[in-house]
Every structure is written in structure tokens, then in C-alpha cells.
Amino acid sequence: MPDSANAQQSDDVQQPDPIDDPTAIILYGGTGDLAKRMVLPAIYELFTRGLLPDQFRLIGNGRGDVSAEEFAKHIRDSLTEFSSAPDDDEFAEFAKNVSFAGGGFREDDPGTLLDAIKQLEEELGHKVQLVHYLSLPPVAFEPTTKAIKAHGLNYDTAKAVYEKPYGTSLESFHALDDLVHSAFDEEQIYRIDHFLGKEATQNLYLTRFANRLFGDVWNRRHIAQVQIDVPETLDIADRADFYDATGAMLDMLATHLFQVAAEVALEPPLSMDPEDVQAARESVIAAFRPLDPKEVVLGQYASYLDTEGVEKDSKTETFAAARLWIDTDRWRGVPFLLRTGKMMKESAQKVSLIFKPSDGPLDHIHPDANAIVFDLKGNGAIDIRLTVKKPGPDPLPAESATSLSLANVAPGSMAPYTSLIHDVLSGNRMLFTSSTGLESAFQAFQPMLTDARPQVEIYDDHSWGPPSAKELTGPCGWLLGD
């Protein structure tokens, strides 16, 4: 068992600033899966923390007809299921600001959304900042963007939030991005990758820049390999339509895991200002070498084809592992090993920097006992795995570890979606992906869209994935298992 330590509690917990601009969030796909799990609880959390503007409306949008009362009940049920049951009086206050515009929203038929916005602006006596949140499957990004533009809802003050994946190939990324830029300036566009919003992910660079203990060894002279490992025990549940068309590489690897790799690999920014941090993260993605299909293993869990909604002969990967190379002076020759999958043996979100063996007489230490491991889940933790002396007469090595829980530094910290939506409202784009960064990510991903893409290998449910994924790591093995 590792020793554990707690980061010292800060007396001075950061409180984000409230927002003044009268605002309406239009939540496209307002009754969908992501909305109920993440977005609605996040908006409600901002309300209970007093972080929404005084003049605020949430307008749900969807193709069906849903009354304001039904939408409010849906929100309440979502909070109860995915967050916590709200206080009756507080929720009643929130629900006064909620409505639903049904009938969809298309170029040729705006449904009832334009009327809902007109009514709100007449009620308030002025225009409001519109935040278009596209909580929609990627196929709906283009038609919805076209509709926003065609109906003139791309005000200069408007913002547009896009979920991932933003494009499925370099070509479709360009087509979507050109269209989005025909409606909005880059500063108005917020492409969400919620892994960037995790408190613990942000520690990947903050601890490095603040502590010589980490900063001085953060390079190829000292690090043998980096593992970014996000196994999940969950299956694809009721997301078959989306997942079977998307797969693990686009759902997780070329999106979340690439962004986390960039957070590890980035060069020190000029300052910690949002623009500088964003630029440093996005520019290192340009140094990602395009994936070599021979260094990628794809898998599908054994019972996947039995899932309702999945094509009977589907070749969609539910597991992906890859060896990524980053061609900068700092990282040349250091493999970044990325792994993620559904229906695996354990759930975890870990980033491990595994050191090279020491010089001198103890140059044979197992990599397990010579590593820094960042846990990205929840408030996060940093494990330092060390080799120490085994008590006794001889100078023999023994493995030990200490775990620094970050929970105490961040009492009451916000969930990733809560803080990212607050960033959208306040105009802070640090934790959002940019057009150039995503273009580089798709360039690195592009070889996986060719005929050289490896075949999917079937793996046992609740296992560590196809055994061949182990070969990617070399003698180290995957630190988490197999």
C-alpha cells in the first residue's frame, strides 16, 4: 500500500467571477444524452453558485414538441439521476428561466426558436448574448450551423459551442470549420474537449512549471516513455447509434488523449495567460508524427455485436492503443503510449511519466518504481513511485510510493463541464481547442483512415484488450495492467 499524503488546503480557494451580460443559452439536443448527464447539471451548478448572469435564460431545442414544464421536469430528473436532487425552492427559481423551443431548427424551417428569442428580447427590452450550445451528434453540426447563419442568429456577441468530434477526417474537419467560420469569428467558437477542463489535467503543466523537481526532468534525457491510459469498464449502453459510427479512436484517442498528450509535451508558454497556454498546447500538436498503423492496435469487445443498434458485422473499434511520437527536441525518441477502450478490466485515467534507469550501480530498477503518475479522475492525485532501501543489513532496493491527493487543494472545485461553460460565458478560451491545433491532430490521425488501418482484434469482455497491445510498450508493459 502506498503511503499517502495530502496537498495542503489552500485558505484562499479561487472563486470564478460572476458574469454580467444578459445571456440566453440555446441548448440544441437539450433532451439528449450528453445534455442530461453533463450540460444540464453544469448549468444548474452555475446557477446554485450564483455564477449565471442576473438576466439568464436556458432555451432547450429539439425536433419534438416539449413544453417548458416538461423540459423543467426533464432537467430536474437529470439532476436527480446524474448529480443530486435539487432543493425545491431553488429549483423553482431556476425553472422560471427555462423554456423549450420545439420543432427542430433547420435552414428551411426554424421551428419555434426564432419566436422564443424574439419574445425573450421583447420581454427584456434589448438583445441578449446568445450562446449556441450544439449538444448534438456530429452529423447535425453542419445543418444547425447553416440554420444559425441563415436565420441571423450569429450576432457579433454570439458564441457557439461545439462538442467533439469536430470532424471525422482532415477533409470533413476543413469542410465543417470553413462553414463554422463563415458564420462566426474564431474568437466566438468554443470547441469543447472536456478532458482539458479537468482540474487534474491542468496539473500536468502547472506542477511542472512551478516545481524544479518535475520541470527539470521533463524531457527525453530523463523520461523513457509516457503512458496515457484511459481504460473504461462501461459498455456503450444506449449510445449505439453514435458510437458505432464513431469508434474509440475518434471518441477518445485522437480527441481527448491527443489533447492530454499535448498538455504533457507542450513547451513552456510565454506566460500563464490563457492565449499563451492555448498557443503552447496547440502548437506542439503540429509536431505529432502521423500515426503509423503498424504501431496501432484496435480491438472490439466480444459482446459488442450483441448490442441493440450495432450493425451485425460492425468493424468499429471499441479499443485503441497507439505509439505516438512527438518530434520536438524535448521528446524525440520518447514513445507516448496511448490506450483506451470500453468493457475493460478497470476504469482509470492515468498519465505516467516513466523514468529511464539511473546511472550507476542501481541501473536495473523496474520502471514501476521509477515514475510519476498523474490521476486525472475527480480532483486528481499525483503518485510518486520510488525505489527505497529495503530495511535490513544489505543495501537492497524496495518499491514504495507516495500519493498526493489534490482533493484538499480544491474543496468544492467545479466539474469539468461546469468550469468550461463558465469559461464560455466569461470568454476564456484557454481550455478549448483551436482550428490550427485540430488541423494538426487530424493530420496525425489521417493514416488511420487509409487501407493500412489495422484489423480489429476481438478481446474478452472485462479484459485489458487485445494481448498484442502489450507489444507496443516494450519491456515496460502497461503500468496499469497487462
Binding positions are 29-36, 63, 164, 194, 198, 232, 251, 342
Strand-strand pairing, 456-459 and 296-301: parallel
Count the neighbouring beta carbons within 10 Å of the beta carbon of residue 283: 18
Contact partner at residue 85 from ligand NDP, ligand LXAUTJHC, none, CB < 5 to 8 Å by partner kind:
none
The Cα–Cα gap between 160 and 154 comes to: 9
- Does 423 bind ligand LXAUTJHC (CB under 6 A)? Our answer is no
Residue of 173, 233, 243, 207 whose CA lies nearest to 406 = 207
Element (H, E) at 297: strand 296-301
Active-site choice (256, 364, 422, 462):
256
When the beta carbons of 114 and 407 are compared against ligand NDP, the nearer one is: 114
Cβ atoms of 288 and 442 closer than 8 Å: no
Sign of CA dihedral 303, 307, 311, 314: negative
Is 181 an active-site residue? no
**Would you count residue 198 as binding ligand NDP (CB under 6 A)?**
no
Of 133 and 464, which has the nearer Cβ to ligand NDP? 133
C-alpha cell at 394: 544489505
Rule CB under 6 A: say whether 121 interacts with ligand NDP: no
Stretch that binds ligand NDP, among 1-9, 62-70, 88-96, 146-154 (CB under 6 A): 62-70
Give which of ligand LXAUTJHC, ligand NDP, none residue 429 binds (C-beta under 5 to 8 Å, depending on kind). none
Q: Tell me how far apart the alpha carbons of residues 317 and 427 are, in angstroms, rounded to a whole number.
A: 36
Check if the beta carbon of residue 225 is closer than 8 Å to that of residue 355.
Answer: no
Binding partner of residue 232 among ligand LXAUTJHC, ligand NDP, none, CB cut-off 5 to 8 Å per kind: ligand LXAUTJHC
Q: State the nearest-atom distance from the C-beta of 385 to ligand NDP, in Å.
A: 31
Q: Is 45 in the site for ligand NDP (CB under 6 A)?
A: no
Burial pattern 390-399, b for ≥16 Cβ within 10 A else e, equals eeeeeeeeee
Nearest to 23 by CA among 158, 202, 211, 142: 158
34 binds, among ligand NDP, ligand LXAUTJHC, none (CB under 5 to 8 A by kind): ligand NDP
Least distance to ligand LXAUTJHC from the beta carbon of 195, Å?
7
Q: Please name the residues in contact with 14: beta carbons below 8 A apart, sequence gap of 6 or more.
A: none
Is residue 136 part of the contact set for ligand NDP (CB under 6 A)? yes
CA nearest to 369, candidates 246, 177, 224: 224
Residue list for the binding site for substrate: 194, 198, 232, 251, 342
Angle, helices 40-48 vs 88-95, to 10°: value is 110
> Which span sits near ligand NDP by CB under 6 A: 60-68, 360-368, 432-440, 446-454?
60-68
Nearest residue (CB) to ligand NDP, 130 versus 134: 134
Output 256 or 323, the one with its CB closest to ligand NDP.
Answer: 256
Task: Enumerate helices (H) and strands (E) in the chain, giving the number of each.
Answer: 15, 16
Residue closer to ligand LXAUTJHC by CB (options 249, 252) is: 252
**Which cell is 294 given?**
503498424
By the rule CB under 6 A, 232 interacts with ligand LXAUTJHC = yes
Min separation Cβ 42 and ligand LXAUTJHC, Å = 12
Nearer to ligand NDP, 242 or 355 (CB): 242
Euclidean distance between CA atoms 141 and 143, whole angstroms: 6
Q: Does residue number 317 form part of the binding site for ligand LXAUTJHC (CB under 6 A)?
A: no
With binding defined as CB under 6 A, does residue 416 bind ligand NDP? no
Name the residue with the smallest CB distance to ligand LXAUTJHC: 251
When asked if residue 199 is in the footprint of ligand LXAUTJHC (CB under 6 A), the reply is: no
- Residue 163's binding partner among ligand NDP, ligand LXAUTJHC, none (Cβ under 5 to 8 angstroms by kind) is ligand NDP
Q: Do residues 251 and 360 make contact, with C-beta atoms less than 8 angstroms apart? A: no
242 binds ligand NDP (CB under 6 A): yes
Residue by residue, DSSP assigns 317-384 as: -SEEEEEE-B-STTTTT--EEEEEESSBS----EEEEEEPPPSSTTTT--GGGSEEEEE-STT-EEEE
Residue closer to ligand LXAUTJHC, measured from CB, 84 or 211: 84
Near ligand LXAUTJHC in 236-255, by CB under 6 A:
251-252
User: Which CB sits closer to ligand NDP, 25 or 334?
Assistant: 25
- Asked if 135 is part of the footprint of ligand NDP (rule: CB under 6 A), the reply reads yes
Torsion of CA 207, 208, 211, 215, to 10 degrees: 170
Minimum gap (Å) between residue 39 Cβ and ligand NDP: 9
How does strand 381-389 pair with strand 397-405? antiparallel
Name the residues annotated as catalytic: 256
Binding site for ligand NDP (CB under 6 A): 29, 31-35, 37, 62-64, 135-140, 163-164, 239, 242
